Copies of this chain bind each other. A is one copy, B any other.
Amino acid sequence: MSTLIDGPQPPSAVGSAGARASRLHIPAVPARPGHRSDFGYLSLSAAGALPRPAIDARAADIGELAAGLVRVLDDDHRPVGPWHLPLEPSVLKTGLRHMLLTRAFDRRMQRTHRQGRISFYIQSTGEEAVSVAQAMALRPGDMLFPSYRNQGLFVARGVPLVDLMCQLLSNRGDMCKGRQLPVMYHSGPARIFSISGNLATQYPQAVGWAMAGAIKGEDHIAAAWIGEGSSAEADFHHGLLFASVYRAPVILNVVNNQWAISTFQGFAGGEQQSFAARGPGFGIPGIRVDGNDFLAVHAVTQWAAQRARANHGPTLLELVTYRAEAHSTSDDPSRYRPRDDYQHWPLGDPIERLKQHLILAGHWTESAHQALSAQLEAQVDSSWAEALAQGTPEQGCSLDRGLMFEDVFKDMPEHLRRQRDALAAERG
């Protein structure tokens, strides 16, 4: 083909400027700064509208769950429909507490970053129900493979805030021994896997973990979380595929908070189809759920967990929510989306909704809420003081620099010992 052999032919006219208009489709974005988002793109179902199938349902038979939106709490905070599986008020109150604590922690760490005391932070504001309700619907023996926006899993599994804070400070109490960027926590005892900087890698890993459980005949299951942006990565495909082929006992979650840094979810393939819809293509049930509805999230997770434990295989859950704050402390969302977007988000705030539900049901009061909030703020404060006792940023790094050379391998090989000694000599 001579045009190819001769080199790329500059198109005589390209793009909108040209005579031959470009026919490439570019996904739409609801609004850019200065305008107001039209959330009409979001397909919503009425609370209670979708059926709750048996846990051994075939994916192909329950496709409506991938297109619709499972909701339990209606606009008046009343629980309705088949997905309402009544939970003890104490359980709901525990959920509320975990969400509130997560938010208080986020807010405080964000402030700490602004004061220059930690170098980086990522908030999960507006998405607390995802992590908290899901952790609570699983068993302690189940293994969790989080993304960087799932701090609620750590909170709900009772990992002390001090431990998380020490990681943020890279001080003597840092579970990562100074090796990971802030927020890249893990917890062996709480069975929460190490967070990776490389997106989506945890998906096939969780499936592998679950496969091992199945091979060993155990009934622990695995669950993994990624953002909707990250579902574009190859490992999303690998996760679905391996889960499908071996019917692994795993819950694969896509947290669709509408944005991947500055990139709207349409660029991840959310314009043509829901993310939950990827599941049925692999024979995996896909369920799209209101991610800000604690009860709905809990119910679908429980369904998926029962399904997995009963050996009916994996489930793909899409948790529809909204990233209320910046992507991270390095980000300024007012550059790419309307500043007040979250105020118009049709699915509200997860904490507010559970709170109103509990008040409506007579299990909670505004003043109890104030008191709890204050108590949790105090808990965050005292945890922070405790964390600082293990090394403040002003004191410099409180970890032995020799730790840099450990854990590259189980046993330190000769060449790393030599390098460790050279560094020690350099630093005197």
Contact = CB atoms under 8 A, between A and B. Distances in A.
Contacts of A1: 188-189, 191
B272 A25 contact: no
Most-contacted residue by chain B among A5, A215, A313 (CB, 10 A)? A215
Interface stretch (A239-247, A334-342, A361-369, A383-391): A239-247
Nearest to A9: B216
B11 A215 contact: yes
A27 B280 contact: no
Chain A: interface size category:
35 or more
A216 B188 CA distance: 54
Given A234-B237, A237-B234, A281-B279, A244 B216 contact: no
Interface string A55-74: 00001100100010000000
Given A244-B273, A272-B59, A313 B215 contact: no
Nearest to A188: B1
Contact of A246 (B26, B234, B249, B313): B26
Nearest to A278: B281
Nearest to A5: B188
A244 B20 CA distance: 23
A283 interface: yes
Nearest to A8: B212
A120 interface: no
Interface in A304-329: 311, 313
Given A1-B189, A245-B267, A269-B245, A311 B23 contact: yes
A215 B14 contact: yes
A214 interface: yes
A303 to B, nearest CB: 19
B272 A284 contact: yes
A113 B214 CA distance: 45
Contacts of A238: 234
Contacts of A313: 25
Given A22-B217, A216-B14, A217-B21, A282 B271 contact: no
A311 B286 CA distance: 29
A287 B214 CA distance: 34
14 contacts: A1-B189, A14-B216, A20-B216, A24-B246, A25-B311, A27-B245, A232-B241, A241-B268, A245-B269, A245-B272, A273-B282, A273-B283, A277-B281, A281-B286
| A-B pairs with lowest CB-CB distance, top 10 | A272-B283, A20-B217, A234-B234, A281-B281, A237-B237, A25-B247, A1-B188, A11-B216, A24-B214, A273-B283
